[in-house]
Structure 1
């Protein structure tokens, strides 16, 4: 990669992260302001950055067009779009679509919930491998060698007291997700949120993506979120079929926990 191209990409990345002045960009890159200005002018001429009246730089419209075009060309996103929107409408909850590429899980589509309390997640951002349902599901689709390689290099940030803390735990959870056909985030990334995820399979039989449903615990209990698994599995089965998958996806529904009222009914007939 040429030095100019590399510097221009570094500048674009910095602008996307909120570094917006010429001085700050020059300092962050260690490049003279004259060179930074020239590169910014080139990016601006192609619509990748824009400059406001206060001479602050922002991400330009060309970036969003490029990102949207790239996302739209990914068959799984196009195929899944109407199905995850129907799932979001029927549950009223947040639905995510995510894919895996070289150790990174990325949200490629999202349906917002009807709840006022919403998740902090955005299309294009990475998802925590060890603390999200989609992350565990997608890890479960890897072969053992790749899974161990990814797990060994994963940064296992402790988000809550429930977050997975060791590589062995992560590998075991990925295997568990593959065996039962779903994974969960039980207050592991955010203390107020529970989430279930399931795999989408491609025509080649490999996991192509993952879909999840996320619900604040003030809206549904953990057991209530687990009860959404059949609807989630039905949605991922439809997406997989649209992608050409002809086999039967694994799905082991969790046992229903009995409440004290249920036990009393059993005792008294």
Structure 2
């Protein structure tokens, strides 16, 4: 494939400046690119005129400009979570041999927006488009872990904490304790809290602003999805895939 030299050099400038957040002087850029200062300066002038590079008036260093942020924000805002997560969901379903879900939060409820079926028989509540309470599902609790305390209080006031099984969390203080534990571990477990006989592990999906924007889960019958399996291999696998999806949405761990 034929490359356009000026475009290649221009992109190299942006990549080098992206790797040097404190900025670089013209001499440093020229040396890094092994190009004459006059050539680099011409390219910088064009980038500055378009807003992709800015020059610090105090020390003369060059840094990325705000137009780069505009492009990045446009890309991130137009990413479709289902498309981004698709490969990871299938990988997770294949490795876990259980059903995998992708869920969002809407109006203090969980909405199932994608599902990869297991080749093993499983009958459970979930299907694409259905809604569920947040306090009694793994995905719901993961999404709640990204809420502020006031937002959790509002959810409880709005939806209540209805009981579905003997293990459903119905006490607000217990729910707050559970959310603290989820933040520490990085995942949530639904211990038959919504459906008897079904155990689930869920993990959060973060966006470029470090916000919890979605959740993925692995669910199955308790005889297959044992506590030991959940806290071992399944926890490792779901955290790996949730991290990959988050990174594709622009998330960078602080």
TM-score of the superposition, structure 2-length normalised? 0.66
1:149 and 2:154 matched = yes
CA gap of 1:209–1:142, structure 2 versus 1, over 3 A, is same
Structure 1 gap segments, 5+ residues each? 1-72, 249-269
* Match in the other structure for 1:42: none
Q: Is the 8 A contact 1:134 1:212 kept in 2?
A: yes
> How much does 1:74 deviate?
6.5
Q: 2:207 maps to what in 1?
A: 202
Asked if 2 retains the 8 angstrom alpha-carbon contact of 1:187 and 1:193, the reply is yes
Residue 153 of structure 1 and its aligned partner are, at CA, apart by 2.2
After superposition, the CA RMSD in angstroms is: 1.6
Question: What are the equivalent positions in structure 2 for 1:1-269 lying under 5 Å apart?
Answer: 75-227=80-232, 228-247=234-253
Partners of 2:160 and 2:128 in 1: how far apart? Answer: 21
User: Contact 2:122/2:220 (CA < 8 Å) preserved in 1?
Assistant: no
Whether the 8 Å contact between 1:97 and 1:109 is mirrored in structure 2 is: yes
- The whole-number CA distance in structure 2 between the counterparts of 1:141 and 1:132 is 15
| Residues 79, 249 of structure 2: 8 Å contact kept | no
Asked whether the equivalents of residues 160 and 187 of structure 1 are also in contact (C-alpha less than 8 Å), the reply is yes
- Conserved 8 A contact 2:136-2:193: yes
Instruction: Report if aligned partners of 1:196, 1:214 keep a CA contact under 8 Å in 2.
Output: yes
4+ residue segments displaced more than 3 Å: none
**Alpha-carbon deviation of 1:218?**
2.2
Gaps of 5+ in 2: 1-77
Larger CA Rg, structure 1 vs 2: 2
Q: Distance in 2 between matches of 1:242 and 1:214?
A: 24
1:73-131 Cα distance to aligned partner (Å, 9 max, x none): 87111100111111101111011111112312111111111211332211111122111
Would the aligned equivalents of 1:107 and 1:126 in 2 still touch at CA under 8 Å? Answer: yes
C-alpha distance in 2 between matches for 1:151 and 1:91: 33
